[in-house]
Amino acid sequence: METNQEKILEKAQERVIETLARNMDLYGITMSTGLLYGTLLFQDKSMTLDEMGEALGMSKTSMSTGVRTLMDLNMVEKIWKKGTRKDHYEVNLDWYQNFIDLFSVKWRHASEQNVHSLKKSLHELRTLQQSEDLSDELRARVELSISRIENGLEYYLWLSRLIDAFESHDIFQFVPKKESDS
């Protein structure tokens, strides 16, 4: 039988797990993968896919997909356990690094896609700009579009430097992990 203290502990952990899962969902991580991450966070030992599935009431396939996503983001790692043939997984407890990995991967991917689209459009517009039979009105619209795209490319260069600052941990020079007590 569960004691009152155990119920309080379980409720507190469930609240954190659900909140983490909802927050991760905002950034493109499925709710079930977020729940998996939160569940692993509160374990005092590594877990197998079967144990995860049992804890969350989900299929082994769902757990495998979730673990793969979390491993790609460096939020979970596979560990070797002596005497067992099953894979075991545990959460990376460095929340700062988890944030950096999650956002850097997503920001860099989105940024690269957007830069590709902007450069392609810029090339097309510059070719169009060279047309001699372009009306003055259309030329003005093309030039405005070129200017706006160039401004966007400047932003993505800045964003790339910001991502680099996260990945190199230079960001902590500007925003320390912990405020000093002085």
- CATH number of the structural domain spanning residue 72: 1.10.10.10
Is there a single domain that holds both residue 98 and residue 67?
no
Q: Is residue 56 part of a domain?
A: yes
Is there a single domain that holds both residue 54 and residue 111?
no
Q: Which of 29, 59, 91 is the last residue of a domain?
A: 91
Is there a single domain that holds both residue 37 and residue 79?
yes
Backbone angles phi, psi at 91, to 5 degrees: -80, 145
The two structure tokens encoding residue 39 = 């569940």
User: Which residues in the chain land under pLDDT 70?
Assistant: 180-182
For position 101, what pLDDT does the model report?
87
Is there a single domain that holds both residue 72 and residue 104?
no
Is there a single domain that holds both residue 82 and residue 101?
no
Is there a single domain that holds both residue 60 and residue 102?
no
For position 99, what pLDDT does the model report?
87
Domains contained in the chain, number: 2
The two structure tokens encoding residue 33 = 């993968």
Is there a single domain that holds both residue 98 and residue 80?
no
Q: Which of 57, 91, 125 is the last residue of a domain?
A: 91
Provide the residue range defining the domain that includes 54: 2-91
Is there a single domain that holds both residue 8 and residue 86?
yes
Backbone angles phi, psi at 80, to 5 degrees: -90, 135
Q: Is residue 182 part of a domain?
A: no
Q: Is residue 104 part of a domain?
A: yes
Q: Which of 47, 62, 91 is the last residue of a domain?
A: 91
Structure confidence by residue, pLDDT tens digits, 36-57? 999 999 998 999 999 999 999 9
Cα distance between residue 32 and residue 38, in whole Å: 10
Q: Is residue 181 part of a domain?
A: no
Is there a single domain that holds both residue 59 and residue 21?
yes
Is there a single domain that holds both residue 74 and residue 26?
yes
Q: State the burial class of residue 33 (Cβ atoms within 10 Å of its Cβ: 0-12, 13-18, 19+).
A: buried
How many C-beta neighbours within 10 Å does residue 41 have?
Answer: 18
What sign does the CA torsion over 116, 118, 119, 124 have?
positive
The two structure tokens encoding residue 12 = 């507190």
For position 181, what pLDDT does the model report?
57
Is there a single domain that holds both residue 67 and residue 141?
no
